[in-house]
Amino acid sequence: KKHLLFGGMVVVKLAERYGTPLYVTDENKLRNNFKRYKNAFETTNIDTDIYYAVKANGILALLKILASEGSGSDVFSAGELVLTKLAGIPAEKILFNGNSKSDDDLRTAVESGVRVSVDSVDELRALSAVANELGKEVEIAIRVNPDVSPDVHAKIATGLKESKFGIPFHDVIPVCEEAEKLPNVLLAGLHCHIGSQILDITVFGEATEKMMGLVERVYERGMKLKFVDLGGGLGIGYRQEEKATAPTPKDLAEMILPVFENKVQELGISFKLVLEPGRSVVGTSTILLSRVNAVKRANKNFVAIDAGFNLLIRPVMYGAYHEVVVANKVNERASELYTVVGNVCEAGDIMAKDRILPKVERGDLVAILDTGAYGFSMSSQYNGRPRCAEVLVCNGKADLIRSRESVEDLIRNQEIPARLT
């Protein structure tokens, strides 16, 4: 029988060695995905920085790899900021993003010397007060809600006018003018992010046009910028038939660079372009291995595996599609219709509906593909299930990069009041 190979490794052997469920990341695939961005945007005179979106997958080993490739980072919390700095990404290449930052978040950002993407007037004023109190200056970007509508799931569209993110497009200039007057904040950039898993990239062109129009208005009023951050959101091909047609970083560059360059030349100015890819860097780098606990012939043929939505919530939360492979039977003919379900006590814990697979039996190994983005990073301990291990593979070698949790980890921070003992 032929077995699935991933990153030069027979995944059945990885499952035997580390147990299941198990996330497996291919280091070379990760590096190559990042390099595709670097290469696509090196074709221009525009100085471009790639800030990886840490929320997609924040494991330290992965961040270390991206730091070694020259990545910056887009962080959404003090925790992500700490991870990023531990990985060796310099403060000047970090943007602290987020729509609801506490005073503690703002204090951490100012003390760390990173730039802050300001999401509201309240936050702008609070940040100024915190920086003033600390006696430090902080560079900021204004997060713009550009009112651009990508054709994606409603829960991952972030640039609609009804979205919780950013300052409404028509209010941005007055907010920039207020930022110029406030103490200890320095206006350095404009920032937007329109959504995630975008496959029709014309919306990036629309967003770039709107943002560069704002840039012109900023400069007309005598203000200057160091960068414009156009966010991330480039989709990947989760379905086999999408893989050949999914847009690439090169396609993205060809969509946004002409608009960006034309406006820069027209205005006779110079500043950086920043991008924040997440999914398109890590999504295809990782698979989730899971053992079949039972095959049940009922209203449907159910394949029950040892991973549920506590480890991969995307299919349940977004109705997302992931290809599924029976890893120990890759050369056997796909002949039966199955629905792959998890081990969580919820009727909705369905990982893959109605897939034609080889005959599946208890003990088989299932690989769920393209789980590098929003897999472990959105995981939980629901149903009292300790979370799984993660392994990094490179040129036929495997390294453990996250240990499997134990039951002790479930109770580590719990306290029983003395009166109950």
Residues annotated catalytic, as ranges: 345
For residue 33 the two structure tokens come to 């995905």
Chain-centroid distance, C-alpha 1: 36
The answer to whether the CB of 232 falls within 8 A of the CB of 274 is: no
Determine how β-strand 9-10 pairs with β-strand 5-6: antiparallel
- Any idea how long the chain is? 421
Distinct helix (H) and strand (E) counts, the chain? 12, 20
Task: Return the half-sphere exposure (C-beta side, CA atoms, 13 A cut-off) of residue 87.
Answer: 28
**Residues in Cβ contact with 196 at an 8 Å cutoff, skipping those fewer than 6 apart:** 152, 156, 158, 232, 233, 235, 278, 279
For residue 411 the two structure tokens come to 């109770």
**Residues in Cβ contact with 313 at an 8 Å cutoff, skipping those fewer than 6 apart:** 374, 378, 379, 380
Residue 111 CB coordination number (10 Å): 13
Q: Which residue has the tokens 């012939």?
A: 297
Amino acid at 338: Y
Q: Which residue has the tokens 């907010």?
A: 175
**Residues in Cβ contact with 265 at an 8 Å cutoff, skipping those fewer than 6 apart:** none
CA distances from 22 to 343, 356, 402 (A): 15, 23, 10
